[in-house]
Amino acid sequence: MTTEAVQQSQQSQQSQQSLSTSAARNLATTTKTVPQMLGITPRYLLRALPWVDLEAGVFRVNRRRGFILGDGLISTYVDGAGANQVVAEDLRELAFLSQVDSPLLAALASAFVEREVAPGELIVEAGAPADQLHIIAFGRAEKRATNEYGADALLAVLGEGDFFDGAEWANGTDTTYRVKAVSACTVLSVERRTLVELADREPSLRAQLDEFAAASVRPSTDREHPIDLQSGHAGEPYLPETFVDYEDSPREYELSIAQTVLRVHTRVADVYNSGIDQVQAQLRLTVEALRERQEWEMLNNAEYGLLNNVAASQRVRTRKGAPTPDDMDELLTRVWKQPAFFLAHPRAIAAFGRECTRRGVPPQIVELFGSPFLTWRGVPLLPSDKLDLKGSANSAPGTTNILLMRVGEDRQGVVGLRPAKVPDEVEPGLAVRAMGVDRQAITSYLVTSYFSTAALVDDAVAVLQNVEVSNYHDYS
């Protein structure tokens, strides 16, 4: 060894007075977190909903007999030639066509004529004879009238599937409002004479129209089978006799299911288990993923999801796209009986906050679940990313929906459904069942969640549709 190398070695030994940290780390136990997961959300819907524990697997909602037909929309489609056509069976949304045979509906559907309407153009003029039934296949329009004080009043915002006006069209009366296109619209229209010609040929349709005309003379706002009562009387008149009629076929909700099989190698569970239980860590994240899917299904499932079970009368379209205080007030008029909370995408809540800031009406803050939330009229806005944003990667974020609901079985509201008890239950409605070890030394666990949701009556939930979330304001 050269003299220079010896000197460097001596200097190195003199400079190190204790064990190096790199060497010590080999003997130390690190402080570590449990496995983290980006997809975990607070899942406020699952936390805010009251839950009904089912002893059986089916929940039956008995209701007073009502007159609700469907979703209140008449669907259209584009045929092979590129023309918009009416879905014939959806014409049953009109009360006087609900019991008509399918061939008659097909004949009526084929008589619709398509036309394009420019923004600002009138589709229907107030006071004109209702000689046509109109269906909006594409675009947005406003239904307006003049109120008792001579001011212009916005009655409704119309969009795809909305039609006007079935009652006046059937009875041949004059329209009491006007409809003006807000955007470019595609409108399908059919003449009243087509309906009259079909009724002259088919006695069943004529009978339906006559019955509908007689009922229109004394319209009722009650959407359920009437209960005859008498009030304000004097003396000893004969009192009406009545009964409360129920639906013959009440809706039943079967518990839905979300499942997966978790696989853990026995070598991992046996050896790499110090500090953090590997099986428990794997199960925790699997359960979190199941609960996230559960919340998504409770909102979006085609059969029982809340978004797909909002009654036609409970759907509201935004006036201008962005969610304004006026839109939220309109939503509150649909669920005015003890509203519990709004549920909205975080970007929709931010968009609503911007509209409030623009108007100078900042929402109040309330604390729930240990976090602050915006409120409107005292009703909190709970965020959920399970209310999807519609749009592509190359476009603006698009539109979404905002839900408002009343909750609780005692309030005829929205409830969550789950089994009262399941074998191997680790959380309410969620079970983890060991399936054994296979020949590759892998242990399998069946993880199952049972759930559903139900709105007990129609006015328990309402939705604000087509909420635009990318509208910003320049405050400078």
Based on the fold, state whether residues 368 and 451 are members of the same structural domain.
Answer: yes
- Residue 356 counted as domain residue: yes
- Residue 100 counted as domain residue: yes
Tens of pLDDT, residues 373-409: 999 999 999 999 999 887 544 445 688 999 999 999 9
pLDDT at 269 over 90: no
Asked which of 216, 243, 265 is the last residue of a domain, the reply is: 216
Residue 393: predicted pLDDT:
45
Residue 78: predicted pLDDT:
84
| Per-residue burial over 309-333, b = 16 or more CB atoms within 10 Å of its CB, e = otherwise | bbbeebbbbbbebbbbbebbebbbe
Cα torsion 406, 409, 410, 411 to 10°: value is 20
Residue 9: predicted pLDDT:
59
Based on the fold, state whether residues 282 and 192 are members of the same structural domain.
Answer: no
Residue 64: predicted pLDDT:
81
Asked which of 216, 239, 273 is the last residue of a domain, the reply is: 216
- Residue 142 counted as domain residue: yes
Tens of pLDDT, residues 95-107: 888 888 888 889 9
Q: Which of 69, 111, 107 is nearest to 90 (CA)?
A: 69
pLDDT at 418 over 60: yes
Cα–Cα dist 299/348, whole Å = 16
Residue 10: predicted pLDDT:
60
Based on the fold, state whether residues 175 and 302 are members of the same structural domain.
Answer: no
Based on the fold, state whether residues 94 and 152 are members of the same structural domain.
Answer: yes
- Residue 2 counted as domain residue: no
pLDDT tier, 3 (very low <50, low <70, confident <90, very high otherwise): low
- Residue 18 counted as domain residue: no
Number of independent structural domains in the chain = 2
- Residue 436 counted as domain residue: yes
Based on the fold, state whether residues 355 and 426 are members of the same structural domain.
Answer: yes
Based on the fold, state whether residues 167 and 279 are members of the same structural domain.
Answer: no
Based on the fold, state whether residues 196 and 324 are members of the same structural domain.
Answer: no
Residue 321: predicted pLDDT:
87
Stated pTM of the model: 0.80
Omega before 327 cis (within 30°)?
Answer: no
Token duo for residue 366: 């309330």
Handedness of CA 192, 215, 157, 89 (dihedral sign): negative
pLDDT at 69 over 60: no
- Residue 66 counted as domain residue: no
Cα–Cα dist 88/68, whole Å = 19
Tens of pLDDT, residues 74-84: 888 888 778 88
pLDDT at 26 over 80: no
Tens of pLDDT, residues 112-121: 999 999 999 9
- How much is the average pLDDT of 67-91? 79
Specify burial of residue 288 (Cβ count, 10 A radius: 0-12, 13-18, 19+).
Answer: middle
Based on the fold, state whether residues 284 and 209 are members of the same structural domain.
Answer: no
Mean pLDDT of the chain: 87
Strand 315-317 vs strand 461-468: parallel, antiparallel, or unpaired? parallel
pLDDT at 332 over 50: yes
Percent of the chain with pLDDT over 70: 91
Based on the fold, state whether residues 187 and 322 are members of the same structural domain.
Answer: no
- Residue 242 counted as domain residue: no
Asked which of 166, 188, 216 is the last residue of a domain, the reply is: 216
pLDDT at 61 over 80: yes
Residue 392: predicted pLDDT:
45
Residue 13: predicted pLDDT:
55
Contacts by 473-476, CB closer than 8 A, 24 or more apart: 473/354, 473/357, 473/358, 475/357, 475/358
Based on the fold, state whether residues 267 and 382 are members of the same structural domain.
Answer: yes
Percent of the chain with pLDDT over 90: 47
Tens of pLDDT, residues 205-218: 888 888 887 766 54
Cα–Cα dist 292/427, whole Å = 14
Tens of pLDDT, residues 176-198: 899 999 889 999 999 988 888 88
Tens of pLDDT, residues 40-56: 999 999 999 999 999 98
CATH of the domain at 130: 2.60.120.10
pLDDT at 170 over 60: yes
Based on the fold, state whether residues 99 and 154 are members of the same structural domain.
Answer: yes
Domain that holds residue 203: 76-216
pLDDT at 90 over 60: yes
pLDDT at 29 over 80: no
Tens of pLDDT, residues 288-310: 999 999 999 999 999 999 999 99
Based on the fold, state whether residues 107 and 190 are members of the same structural domain.
Answer: yes
